[in-house]
Structure 1
Amino acid sequence: MTAVALLLTALFLAPTGALAADKIVIGVPTSLNFLEGKEANNSVKLAVDEINKAGGVKVGGKMLPFVVESIDIRDAAPGVPVPEALLGIEKLILEKKPNALVVGPFRSEALLAGMDMLAKHKVPLLGTIAMSPKTEAKVASDPKYKYVFRVSLDAKYFVGYIAGVMGFLGKEFGFNKVFIMNQDVAWARATAGIMTKIFEGKLKWKVVGHETFPTGASDFAPALMKAKMAGAQVIMPVFDMPQSGILVKQWKAMKVPALMAGFISPLTGPGAWKTFDGKIGGALNAIFELGNIPSAKYPPSKKYYDAYQAKYGVPLEAGHGPAPSYASVYLLKAAIEKAGSLDPDAIVAALKATDAQGVMGHIKFSKGNQLIYGNDPQKEALGCFFQWTDDGKRLIVYPPAIAEGTIKLPAGMKAAK
């Protein structure tokens, strides 16, 4: 056999990732024209710039740079079918040949449907937006799905934070009457339904009313009046539509003597104060992952938050997605260096063994490759609740480990105990 034939045979038999590489490609398939997707993609690029500036990633004695390849799969847009989103992901995989994917689909339907594709191509995904716990269950039950990780929180952790803050309000103020308002979309309906069971079961609260609103609704006054007449002490909103900020403006204008505490997506970022004319003071809102809001009590979150603003000239507005997207790039770097290879199975094994601190807190994955969230940043990753102050600041009030102040009741409202 000639030398050329021997070389060609060696190249043909070499496994994926064994050939000499001059870069490490990170693919970002997501809905790039939505706030969370845009800021998540920006956060990936921020981490890549930092890592490349520091020399890159060490792979088998060679330093390689990260390169980002993004594609808009539009799965968050109304009417876009799941198969179309999956075609976008596969196009990125086939054409750009990424060593890993970060961020991924918005819609859990798209992520769940794409898990077989990721298994076929053996491409690790560190998802940071889609929230269905079903992906974790699939990973735990079938090893072929081991390539899918979630770095953001999932729906069960989100409900856990809401239940935690409601329990805190019950102990602190003696509250036990809640009025639920939610958007008529799957995730919001499910959250409201689960919380109803928790209120009436574990928390021993009374649900004094429940209103569901179609996407696009902009008048919440009748429901607010019902909440007031029913004696609600807490109003729990669950919305992600732009118009939902009007709910809080009307709550303020009507002087409803109930604490607003839940999730309204347009209220998460610092720009909400101007958007809603400063009429949102007193509202409590969830931030899905620490780092999307900075905590002085956990410096890594503030370092990332400040770095994002310095690079892009504007603060983070999204409460879900950006911080875990930034963290995912550093998780990949550590996993690749630990594996000493770009082999996807070696990267997955190293990711599963991760046990470190990150911008959201402690980083450790469950059996189903879900990042574990809790209330202590030294032990778990964190989500949190903040309260808008009357002078336009966001003050973290839950969990206690990173609380910067105490919850204040609206003017004219008193504790029940």
Structure 2
Amino acid sequence: MTTVFIAGSISISRLHKKVQERIGKIVSSNLDVVVGDADGADTSIQKCLHDYQAEKVTVYCTGDLPRNNVADWPIHNVYSKAKAGSRAYFTAKDLEMARKSDYGLMIWDCKSTGTLSNVIELLREKKKSVVFVNKSSDFVKVSDKAGLDHLLTFMSANARAKAEEKLNLSSMIAGIAQEQLSLDSAGNERSSAGEEATLSFVAEMGEPLGSQYAELWQEIAQLHITWLEYVELYGTKKSRVDLLNDVAPHFFRMVQDRLQEAVMLHIARLTDPSHSLGNKAKSNLTLQNLSALIGDPNLKVEVERLCRAASKAVEFARDWRNRHIAHRDLQLAIGKNATPLPAIELKQVNEVLASFEAILNTISLHYSKTESRFGLGSRHGGAVELIYVLDDGLRAQKARQQRLIAGNSSHDDLEARDL
């Protein structure tokens, strides 16, 4: 069943007639609704839902009890480690609602960073929002970065500056752009947004720098995504690792090893020499190419320096590539007097990725006065969603076993499955 996340700015205490009608259509369509418990728009939305006799409503709150629940609907408690009463404390429930819903209906006063953050979070989750803009008394659809850019035009300069201060808005927008510019889910073709970005880089930097920069941007964006998924599974919480071990320890160990190897290989490849050893005719796509394509002498020197630093930082990954992934070192394999492979540490990989980002941003700042911020969040349909699905499955399995033991099993409990 489709779930709608309805929220709005705390400054809005009365809902426009258009918003009330839209909520009425949601209720009459028998859709599930998730709503917060704050004063202002949340309470007004709850009252409107109650007026339409909505039943399929869940009120989300951070902590044990909601601040507002006008119809005593079911409650979904979200617990946050942030300081009680802080913005981060209450944002926890909004993030959960964005994850659980299918699309959003937002009521915005053109300055609230909380409502704007909800729109961006839904966009990160590849979910659409319809935003009622109080200033224009009309709806704006936000399904991609272009829609978000249009929404932001309703903000005053002062409101935009405050959003930048509170949310680091430019970085959040860059993260949305990164998602859209990355390779498609099949990994075979570039998205239309990616094609447009390549043309933009070429127009700003000229050829051949623009084309190679665009391809390297794509490579580094994909590398960040792979690494983020690895960290979400294996480098964030011990409880997640325990969950994977409870479900399928051998399989998820294979996944861990393959992801590690993929990241090591990708890192090493991006800092390879411009030409393959022993075959000067074979050119490689590598960060080492960039300085030779730059005309400005000062920029060339700085990029050369950054590339040398990056090459030194990736030595551990190159060792993995040379002795374990691309080749299988004999002495290492049989364990005779071989130097062990270096440990793969989260901090070390993060520093390497930061060095790659610094190279790209040094160039883009020179030519277009823009920067990219990679690694701002996990992908929709990625590791975090898998973790929650696995946890739901284990909980359901435990409940099923308890019903079987107690003799209260249902037909579904006994039904043979052929997945």
TM-score by length of 1: 0.28
Bigger strand share = 1
Bigger helix share = 2
Identify which of structures 1 and 2 has the higher relative contact order when contacts are C-alpha pairs closer than 8 Å and 6+ apart. 1
Question: Highest CA radius of gyration, 1 or 2?
Answer: 2
